């Protein structure tokens, strides 16, 4: 790595994986919680969402008896103690044969990454639990069906610089790191996540920044990966600072799942840094209503209080969130924690995704079950990212059912037909 190429670029975050669960002798056993200096804690936070969920507390006491609360609440500790293989996972989950076999496959697969916090949400006895299916591999992952590929959206062929996807005229997708705190089994970027292919490398960043600087049509930069929030505050700030210096870049956003799988990362110093680079928006990846916990609520509250508009992105997944009730509970949960539902994605046909993919009809059915039945803010756009690189294509249930003389015939959410007197052209 040529970290020296740019002297002001902070060194890469070094995470030394510790032996998970190992008792640490001589550690103070006192539980300290100085994360919330009282003068910085708005009254509202104290009432609603300050406490951790009982579930994660019990999990911590049981599986990490030697960890202090301060350690548990430290995002670096959470990353250092990730569950990454069958051996460690078998201590907290009753693995099914299928899961065990998938975990035993040696190489060439998307890594497994489960933070202790997210592990606390997994059901030890049910391998079909939605959250568990999202992060624990199954053997179906190794089955490649018709039409699937490693890079279905042709991102690599639309990258003027490695890791910078320029598909739309006025905005770019910048894959700043391949580190991720989750490794969702249906990840669109399974081909790069955790491979070292798109490391937060100074030279690659420099080339991407140069391209953005030299392309005045780019007014919107979307930072993704991997997960941008796995980088240190300093590294992230370096990048935001560089982007802010480019006059034509009006708008920066971060795509992340960190607030959901590693809410401890959303520290006060992080949000204080982020708020210096407005306008900054964030798209947070949610999969299921069970992910909306007190910890996640508090993380989103900090981000929203820092003035960062929060949107959500959700992938439609078979047997996980593919029904109106689950999706409605998720959207309601998001609105409660001030996250505006943005996209519902048809699952991309990446290699091994057939176990997760639903018929396109399913997404339309879900949108039809939301629109009108609940808050309009709670209805995301249902999109298919077109294979081959056509970009996102929005699908809506068809409401126009015909014409009658000068009127348009429209079907409402309850199925009743209404006439709108159309204007003449
Ligand atoms: C999704 C995406 C964007 C952002 O699209 P919006 O509809 O503006 O949110 C930009 N570039 C690429 C390559 C994308 O996949």
Cβ–Cβ under 8 Å, residues 162 and 203: no
**pLDDT of residue 177 exceeding 70:** yes
pLDDT at 335 over 60: yes
Give distance in angstroms: CA of 339 to centre of ligand 1. Answer: 19
Q: For the chain, which domains are there? A: 18-137 (no CATH), 156-393 (3.20.20.70), 394-425 (no CATH)
Residues 82, 189, 265, 357: which is the catalytic one?
189
361 contacts: CB under 8 Å, gap ≥ 6: none
pLDDT of residue 10: 64
pLDDT at 54: 85
User: Are 418 and 412 in contact, with CB atoms under 8 Å apart?
Assistant: yes
Q: Which ligand 1 atom is nearest residue 155's CA?
A: 13
Q: Which of 43-57, 70-84, 136-150, 295-309 has the lowest mean pLDDT?
A: 43-57
The per-residue pLDDT for 8 is 66
CB 384 within 8 A of CB 153: no
Distance (Å, whole) CA 407 – CA 355: 44
Active site residue 189: yes
For residue 392, count CB atoms less than 10 angstroms from its CB and return exposed for 0-12, middle for 13-18, buried for 19 or more. middle
- Per-residue model confidence as pLDDT tens digits over 241-252: 999 999 999 999
Q: Annotated catalytic, 187?
A: yes
pLDDT at 197: 87
The average pLDDT across 34-62 equals 57
Q: What is the pLDDT of residue 9?
A: 67
Candidates 406, 328, 315; CA nearest to 372 is 328
- What is the per-residue pLDDT across 190-230, written as a single tens digit (0 to 9) for each? 999 988 889 998 999 999 999 999 999 999 999 999 999 99
Model confidence band, residue 127 (pLDDT cutoffs 50, 70, 90): very high
Cα dist from 326 to 69, 185, 292, 373, whole Å:
32, 20, 12, 14
Alpha helix (H) ranges present in 93-246?
A: 97-104, 116-119, 130-135, 202-213, 233-244
Atom of ligand 1 nearest to the CA of 343: 9
Contacts of 186 (CB under 8 A, 6+ apart): 134, 315, 317, 347, 348, 350, 353, 356
Active site residue 201: no
Which atom in ligand 1 lies closest to the alpha carbon of residue 342? 9
Mind listing the pLDDT tens digit for each residue in 379-422? 999 999 999 999 999 999 999 999 999 999 999 999 999 999 99
Name the β-bridge partners of 130: none
Which atom of ligand 1 is closest in space to residue 165's alpha carbon?
Answer: 13
* d(CA 173, ligand 1 centre) in Å: 7
CA 279/CA 90 separation, integer angstroms: 44
With a cut of 50, say whether residue 39 has pLDDT above it: no
Query: What digits encode the pLDDT tens for the residues 143-162?
Result: 999 999 999 999 999 999 99
Q: What is the rounded CA–CA span in Å between residue 228 and residue 177?
A: 6
**Cβ-contact 321, 149 below 8 angstroms:** no
Residue 221 Cα to ligand 1 middle (Å): 9
Least confident of 7-16, 98-107, 168-177, 375-384: 7-16
* pLDDT of residue 7 exceeding 80: no
Q: Kindly report the protein residue whose alpha carbon is nearest to atom 3 of ligand 1.
A: 173
Give CA–CA dist 341/283, Å, rounded: 9
Listed range (32-41, 298-307, 416-425) with the worst mean pLDDT: 32-41
**pLDDT for 18 beyond 80:** no
Separation CA 254–CA 344 (nearest Å): 17
Q: How far is CA 322 from the centre of its chain?
A: 18
**Annotated catalytic, 144?**
no
Task: Scan for tokens 């560089």, then name that residue.
Answer: 242
Distance CA 135, CA 182 (A): 7
Say how many Å lie between the first and final Cα of the chain, rounded.
62
What integer best gives the mean pLDDT of the chain?
Answer: 89
Contact call for residues 116 and 83 (beta carbons, < 8 A)? yes
Task: Give 142 Cα–ligand 1 centroid separation in angstroms.
Answer: 28
CA distance 130 to 288: 7
pLDDT (average), residues 97-108: 87
Write down the pTM of the prediction: 0.89
Q: 388: left (phi > 0), else alpha (psi -120 to 50), else beta?
A: left
The predicted model gives 38-48 an average pLDDT of 37
Residue with tokens 């430290």: 74
The protein residue with its alpha carbon nearest to ligand 1, atom 5, reads 392
Instruction: Respond yes or no: is residue 347 known to be catalytic.
Output: no
Annotated catalytic residue within 184, 235, 242, 302:
184
Ligand 1 environment, Cβ below 6 A: 165, 167-168, 171, 173, 222, 392
Report how far ligand 1's centroid is from the alpha carbon of 205 (Å).
19
């Amino acid at each position: 790595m040529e970290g020296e190429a740019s002297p002001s670029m902070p060194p890469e975050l070094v995470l030394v994986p510790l032996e998970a669960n190992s008792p640490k002798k001589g550690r103070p056993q006192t539980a300290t919680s100085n994360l919330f200096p009282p003068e910085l804690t708005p009254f509202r936070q104290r009432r609603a969402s300050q406490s951790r969920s009982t579930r994660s507390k019990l999990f911590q006491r049981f599986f990490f008896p030697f960890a202090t609360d301060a350690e548990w609440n430290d995002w670096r500790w959470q990353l250092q103690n990730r569950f990454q293989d069958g051996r460690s996972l078998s201590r907290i989950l009753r693995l099914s044969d299928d899961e065990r076999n998938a975990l035993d496959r040696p190489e060439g697969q998307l890594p497994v990454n489960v933070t202790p916090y997210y592990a606390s949400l997994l059901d030890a006895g049910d391998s079909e639990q939605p959250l568990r299916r999202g992060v624990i591999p199954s053997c179906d992952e190794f089955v490649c069906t018709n039409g699937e590929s490693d890079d279905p959206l042709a991102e690599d062929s639309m990258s003027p610089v490695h890791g910078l996807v320029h598909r739309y005229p006025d905005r770019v997708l910048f894959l700043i790191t391949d580190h991720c705190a989750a490794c969702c089994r249906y990840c669109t970027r399974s081909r790069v996540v955790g491979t070292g292919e798109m490391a937060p490398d100074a030279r690659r960043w420099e080339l991407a920044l140069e391209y953005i600087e030299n392309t005045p049509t780019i007014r919107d930069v979307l930072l993704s990966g991997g997960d941008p929030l796995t980088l240190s505050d300093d590294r992230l700030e370096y990048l935001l600072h560089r982007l802010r210096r480019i006059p034509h870049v009006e708008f920066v956003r971060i795509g992340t799942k960190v607030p959901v799988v590693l809410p401890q990362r959303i520290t006060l110093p992080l949000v204080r840094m982020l708020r210096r680079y407005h306008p900054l928006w964030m798209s947070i990846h949610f999969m299921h209503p069970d992910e909306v916990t007190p910890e996640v609520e508090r993380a989103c509250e900090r981000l929203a209080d820092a003035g960062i508009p929060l949107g959500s992105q959700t992938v439609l997944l078979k047997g996980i969130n593919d029904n109106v009730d689950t999706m409605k509970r998720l959207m309601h949960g998001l609105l409660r924690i001030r996250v505006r539902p943005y996209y519902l994605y048809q699952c991309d046909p990446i290699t091994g995704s057939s176990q997760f993919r639903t018929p396109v009809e399913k997404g339309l059915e879900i949108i039809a079950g939301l629109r009108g039945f609940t808050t309009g803010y709670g209805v995301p756009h249902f999109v298919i990212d077109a294979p081959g690189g056509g970009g996102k294509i929005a699908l809506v249930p068809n409401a126009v059912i015909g014409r009658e003389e000068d009127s348009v015939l429209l079907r409402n959410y309850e199925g009743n037909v209404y006439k709108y007197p159309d204007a003449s052209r």
